[in-house]
Amino acid sequence: VILFGGEIYKKKHAQNLRAIVLCVNGVSSSLIMRKRLENMFPNMTFLLSTASSDLDNIPAHSYDIIFSTVPVMTDKKLYVMSAFPDIEEETILYNQISQDFNLPGFYKPSAQAILRAIEPYVDIKSNATKKQLTRIIDRKLNNKKTESEALGVMLSDLLT
């Protein structure tokens, strides 16, 4: 009964958010942004990737969220981001959208926040820098492989 109740609750509260992706640089950049956003928000439906100048041609009732590289006039929820966000910007965006739409999941702390939290309790070797530790934590949080670990990846693994 608990299992079924949990599933019913998740389905009832899960929102099938519909998003569009706009980029001032045009369709190619917006497609790259869209792919990254799809990986970050697999339960969100991404309807369209286009140039920001095309916004007036898109019916407002067809989407809930706009991701854009520039501010645009809209009544919808707008998230302005860079075309190629770094890990920190992705984390901030993930947490903001999760909070704004009460999405199921978890809060994803930044590497800097984790380092600040554990710093009083650990001794950092003299040859290690905070920047190096932050990079390692980022890589672990985001399941990123180092260049040497990624050498075995086939082209077919990178293409969808």
The number of folded domains in the chain is: 2
Kindly state whether residue 155 falls inside one of the protein's structural domains: no
What is the pLDDT averaged over residues 120-124?
A: 86
Residue 153: which pLDDT band, with cuts at 50, 70 and 90?
very low
pLDDT for 16 equals 85
For the chain, report the end-to-end CA distance as a whole number of angstroms: 39
Tokens representing residue 55 in the block: 């916004």
Q: Where is pLDDT greater, at 147 or 75?
A: 75
Indicate whether 122 pLDDT > 60.
yes
What is the pLDDT averaged over residues 88-111?
A: 82
Same domain, 9 and 52: yes
Same domain, 7 and 67: yes
Tokens representing residue 107 in the block: 């809060």
Q: For residue 134, what are the domain limits?
A: 111-150
Same domain, 77 and 34: yes
Q: What is the C-alpha to C-alpha distance for residues 6 and 8, in angstroms, rounded to an integer?
A: 5
Q: Which CATH number does the domain housing residue 12 bear?
A: 3.40.50.2300
pLDDT for 60 equals 93
What is the pLDDT averaged over residues 2-11?
A: 54
Same domain, 124 and 91: no
What is the pLDDT averaged over residues 35-57?
A: 90
pLDDT for 43 equals 86
Indicate whether 88 pLDDT > 50.
yes
Indicate whether 45 pLDDT > 70.
yes
pLDDT tens digits, 54-84: 899 999 999 999 999 999 999 999 999 998 8
Same domain, 64 and 29: yes
For residue 62, give the 3-state DSSP assignment. helix
